[in-house]
């Protein structure tokens, strides 16, 4: 595809700028611009960034990964075009290397300077790789979540060193090494189980499994939070949220009615699905990011679960008007580390099934004539939506 297809495609002024608000004291946010990643029917799976924020990678349903500048939005180049024969399920940018895993059973590495493949691991015939994570001593142990198995490679030698096949009974949707604990791995599956493993030494099912947490339904995403990353949030495919303590494998809060709680806290249409969770270490604050099917609106909903509370509060940020379809990925800017109310510059990027990348601006000092959305977005609307919406998988 020619680079002209990746040029910034600004909306008209009325559609271009929209408010992000929580209360009357909230800082104003706006949609800076949008980028059309493809003029076909492709949509965005995931957005990730390089450690120094000089590059962001965007995986598409065309089995291609495109690279952009997160500051200017300009197209830089692309990898994976034609090499993956099935959907790309997860990507990672580390240094000058882009990693991608796919339902074609391979995990590939690409040099982002030459856009050429530099390594390829194969999980075997009829296998799929849904997730991967680097850990172990020197971050050279690669774990991959596959069909009911967790595979391990030594990235230095590219040799497979272990296979766990008794821990899960269905697709392993997530594998994550715990931050600060390089040998501790967490896995999650469609079978509803979250398992933790000690990956030091020779890895096997019997001796290295530490705990099992039963969520009870198919798991979509998990992530770590807390001062020492000893807490785990879990989003399921039926849009429930749960909070777990990793130290004692204890359920701390279960939000089976998460969508209802979130929907009741703002005046937009009902929350149909959750895209992700975001954690701010600076103020120990967790948000669940909910969205609507119809207008592609997003809300950052604070999760309250301490001291006997179990609530999803009014959104502290609303991203409205940027998307026309389901949002698949949210990439908060580095400035979000200090909390939503203190961010400056670019708030972050979002991507969805409309094939668009949206850049959200958190600096309200722009001289553009913004058309802000009123603070009534987060006021309870007594009129209930009658639409029965479901998240497409």
Q: Tell me: the pLDDT tens digits for 230-261?
A: 999 999 999 999 999 999 999 999 999 999 99
Query: What average pLDDT does this structure show over 146-175?
Result: 96
- 33 pLDDT more than 50: yes
Which pLDDT does position 162 carry in this prediction?
Answer: 95
Strands (E), 3-96: 30-36, 44-49, 56-60, 65-68, 75-79, 88-94
Q: In whole angstroms, what separates CA 157 from the centre of its chain?
A: 30
Which pLDDT does position 17 carry in this prediction?
Answer: 34
Per-residue model confidence as pLDDT tens digits over 37-82: 665 678 999 999 999 889 999 999 999 999 999 888 889 999 988 8
Res. 30 pLDDT band, cuts 50 70 90: low
Closest CA to 322 of 369, 357, 291, 362: 357
Alpha-carbon distances of 249 from 210, 212, 244, 245, 261, rounded to whole Å: 10, 7, 7, 5, 25
Which pLDDT does position 231 carry in this prediction?
Answer: 97
Closest CA to 326 of 359, 301, 357, 351: 351
Report the distance separating Cα 155 and Cα 152, nearest Å: 9
- 101 pLDDT more than 80: yes
- Residues, the chain, total? 393
Can you read off the two tokens belonging to residue 248? Answer: 């004692």
- 149 pLDDT more than 70: yes
Which pLDDT does position 363 carry in this prediction?
Answer: 57
- 372 pLDDT more than 80: no
Report the distance separating Cα 318 and Cα 180, nearest Å: 32
Spell out the alpha helix ranges (H) of 190-296.
Answer: 205-208, 258-263
Please provide residue 75's backbone torsions phi and psi, each rounded to the nearest 5 degrees.
-70, 135
Closest CA to 131 of 180, 92, 163: 92
Can you read off the two tokens belonging to residue 50? Answer: 């390089």
Report the distance separating Cα 221 and Cα 131, nearest Å: 10
Which pLDDT does position 385 carry in this prediction?
Answer: 35
Q: What is the dihedral of CA 378, 223, 88, 357, to 10 degrees?
A: 30
Which pLDDT does position 383 carry in this prediction?
Answer: 36
Res. 14 pLDDT band, cuts 50 70 90: very low
Closest CA to 315 of 365, 380, 359, 364: 380
Q: In whole angstroms, what separates CA 27 from the centre of its chain?
A: 24
Report the distance separating Cα 217 and Cα 254, nearest Å: 12
| N-to-C CA span, the chain | 27
Which pLDDT does position 361 carry in this prediction?
Answer: 81
Poorest-confidence range of 61-70, 168-177, 233-242, 359-368? 359-368
Which pLDDT does position 121 carry in this prediction?
Answer: 98
- 279 pLDDT more than 80: yes
- 228 pLDDT more than 90: yes
Alpha-carbon distances of 378 from 269, 301, 363, rounded to whole Å: 11, 10, 21
Q: How many CB atoms lie within 10 A of CB 140?
A: 13
Strands (E), 256-345: 273-280, 285-291, 298-304, 311-312, 317-319, 327-332
Which pLDDT does position 335 carry in this prediction?
Answer: 57
Res. 131 pLDDT band, cuts 50 70 90: very high
Closest CA to 301 of 323, 343, 273: 273
Poorest-confidence range of 127-136, 152-161, 318-327? 318-327
Q: Note the pTM of the prediction, 2 decimals.
A: 0.85
Which pLDDT does position 179 carry in this prediction?
Answer: 95
Residue 251 host element (H or E): strand 250-255
Which pLDDT does position 40 carry in this prediction?
Answer: 64
Res. 282 pLDDT band, cuts 50 70 90: confident
Which pLDDT does position 324 carry in this prediction?
Answer: 86
């Amino acid at each position: 595809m020619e680079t002209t297809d990746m040029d910034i495609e600004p909306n008209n002024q009325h559609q271009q700028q929209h408010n992000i608000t929580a209360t009357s004291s909230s800082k104003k946010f706006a949609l800076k611009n949008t980028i059309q990643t493809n003029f076909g029917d492709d949509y965005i799976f995931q957005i990730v960034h390089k450690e120094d924020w000089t590059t962001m990678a965007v995986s598409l349903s065309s089995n291609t990964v495109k690279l952009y500048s997160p500051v200017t939005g300009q197209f830089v180049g692309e990898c994976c075009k034609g090499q993956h024969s099935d959907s790309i399920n997860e990507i990672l940018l580390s240094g000058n290397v882009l990693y991608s895993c796919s339902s074609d059973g391979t995990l590939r590495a690409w040099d982002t300077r030459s856009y050429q493949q530099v390594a390829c691991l194969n999980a075997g015939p009829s296998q799929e790789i849904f997730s991967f994570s680097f850990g172990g001593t020197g971050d050279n142990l690669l774990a991959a979540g596959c069909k009911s198995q967790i595979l391990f490679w030594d990235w230095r030698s590219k040799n497979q060193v272990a296979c766990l096949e008794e821990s899960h009974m269905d697709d392993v949707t997530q594998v994550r090494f715990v931050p600060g604990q390089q040998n501790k791995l967490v896995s999650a599956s469609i079978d509803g189980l979250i398992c933790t493993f000690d990956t030091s030494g020779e890895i096997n099912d019997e001796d290295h499994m530490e705990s099992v947490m039963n969520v009870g339904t198919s798991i979509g995403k998990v992530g770590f939070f807390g001062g020492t990353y000893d807490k785990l949030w879990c989003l399921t495919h039926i849009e429930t949220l749960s909070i777990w303590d990793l130290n004692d494998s204890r359920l701390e809060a279960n939000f089976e009615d998460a969508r209802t709680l979130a929907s009741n806290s703002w005046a937009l249409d009902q929350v149909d699905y959750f895209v992700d969770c975001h954690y701010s270490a600076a103020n120990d604050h967790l948000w669940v990011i909910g969205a609507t099917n119809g207008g592609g609106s997003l809300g950052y909903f604070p999760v309250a679960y301490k001291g006997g509370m179990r609530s999803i509060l009014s959104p502290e940020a609303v991203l409205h008007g940027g998307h026309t379809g389901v949002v698949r990925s949210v990439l908060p800017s580095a400035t979000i580390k200090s909390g939503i109310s203190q961010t400056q510059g670019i708030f972050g990027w979002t991507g969805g099934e409309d094939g668009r990348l949206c850049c959200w601006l958190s600096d309200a000092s722009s001289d553009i004539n913004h058309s802000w959305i009123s603070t009534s977005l987060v006021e309870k609307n007594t009129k209930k939506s009658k639409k029965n919406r479901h998240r497409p998988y």
